[in-house]
Amino acid sequence: GAVVSQHPSRVICKSGTSVKIECRSLDFQATTMFWYRQFPKQSLMLMATSNEGSKATYEQGVEKDKFLINHASLTLSTLTVTSAHPEDSSFYICSASNRVNMNTEAFFGQGTRLTVV
């Protein structure tokens, strides 16, 4: 399957700082990217959907000013956690899709473990 690379895989930051997570589709053009957050023993929670060249669509309860998403090209989307706090510590996962038809699958990055101290 296609490859989606997420970087960094693990990051520790101080409270109040910002952290940027990159998601790259390495061998296909991703028209749509999804960002998820996952807490221990829980399912993936969709945070936002971004389409290349347009503003991201955030799910209810997700602060768009805190979780900045940029999808400037067909191979790169970034999630910036601004003014991070310990409660933002979580596992963040991106997914990319090239929805050429209705049975297009989505490919996931390996995830980023964010720890805010």
CA torsion, ordered 17, 111, 77, 22, to nearest 10 deg? 50
Exposed, middle or buried: residue 33 (CB in 10 Å: 0-12, 13-18, 19+)? buried
58 contributes a contact to another protein by CB under 8 A: no
46 contributes a contact to another protein by CB under 8 A: yes
Task: For the beta carbon of residue 86, count every other beta carbon within 10 angstroms.
Answer: 9
Residue 109 CA to residue 6 CA, distance in Å, equals: 5
29 contributes a contact to another protein by CB under 8 A: no
Shortest reach from residue 57's CB to another protein, in Å: 8
6 contributes a contact to another protein by CB under 8 A: yes
Nearer to another protein, 1 or 86 (CB): 1
Is the C-alpha dihedral spanning 16, 66, 111, 52 positive or negative?
Answer: negative
Sites for another protein among residues 87-116 (CB under 8 A) = 91, 93-95, 99, 101-111, 113
Residues that bind another protein (CB under 8 A): 1, 4, 6, 32, 34, 36, 43-46, 49, 91, 93-95, 99, 101-111, 113
